[in-house]
Amino acid sequence: MEMWSRSQWENVTIKSPISVFYLYTPMCGTCAVASKMLEVISVMKPDLPMGKADLNYIQDFAVDYEIESVPCLLIAKDGIIQRKIYAFQSVPDLLDILS
């Protein structure tokens, strides 16, 4: 999963029918576990546009998109955020949500 800036995320949401943006902070233990889950998913779904960003560097994004906590997974369809996930249950659960 590659690092994206805010503008990269916004461009991908416009161009792709579905896209995923993972927000984390490096000192968050739960984020580390969620990152590993998403790395597995990125291998299983290589055609799904997925990016990530350290929320410490895009704080205005957190305000504009009303991010409540990390880890946070944004799922957009046709340029509109459909879901924000804060609880990462399991890889199969995430795959089910993304299918």
What CATH number is given to the structural domain containing 55?
3.40.30.10
Q: Which amino acid is at 99?
A: S
- What pLDDT was estimated at residue 99? 84
The residue range of the domain holding 94 is 2-98
pLDDT per residue, tens digit, the chain (99 aa), is: 899 999 999 999 999 999 999 999 999 999 999 999 999 999 999 999 999 999 999 999 999 999 999 999 999 999 999 999 999 999 999 999 998
User: At 82, which helix (H) or strand (E)?
Assistant: strand 80-85
Burial of 99 from C-beta contacts in 10 A (0-12 / 13-18 / 19+): exposed
Number of domains in the chain: 1
In this structure, what token pair is assigned to residue 28? 């968050």
DSSP 42: H
- What pLDDT was estimated at residue 19? 96
What whole-number distance in Å separates Cα of residue 99 and Cα of residue 90?
14
Note whether 65 and 36 are within 8 A (CB). Answer: no
In this structure, what token pair is assigned to residue 19? 């896209």
